[in-house]
Structure 1
């Protein structure tokens, strides 16, 4: 699939700006702390009633380390989610 920031541009894959549990997030380079060259990928763990989204991601706190953080509804609306193949 390439670098994390490239996932959203992969031919044949559907994207959206609406979060759903299980969707991948393709962060552009430098977006929300993503690597400035390669971007980043994370997984939506849940969508809360207030629209905030807890995510899981790897390699942020060290190679192979899984970590978690939460984006507010306003932040989540700015992200691109990869749904899967069309």
Structure 2
């Protein structure tokens, strides 16, 4: 088990279930769907849960997409997209 990744994945899952506007962007007082932000957060969540429970895929591409590095990268890109603009 990889606890940091698992905690990130679970935090995104629970946070998105409680507050779905986490995946949206506020614009002129209205929430608009931000598909890029949602995709990055879902990637971070998926990678966090897959790596967090200890599963490591055999194929190189899948191993990288569901790695701890990919989880951190997707989370950092989501934060940059959400708070940078």
- Bigger proportion of residues as helix: 2
| Same-fold status (TM-score > 0.5) | no
| Higher strand proportion | 1
TM-score range, shorter chain: under 0.3
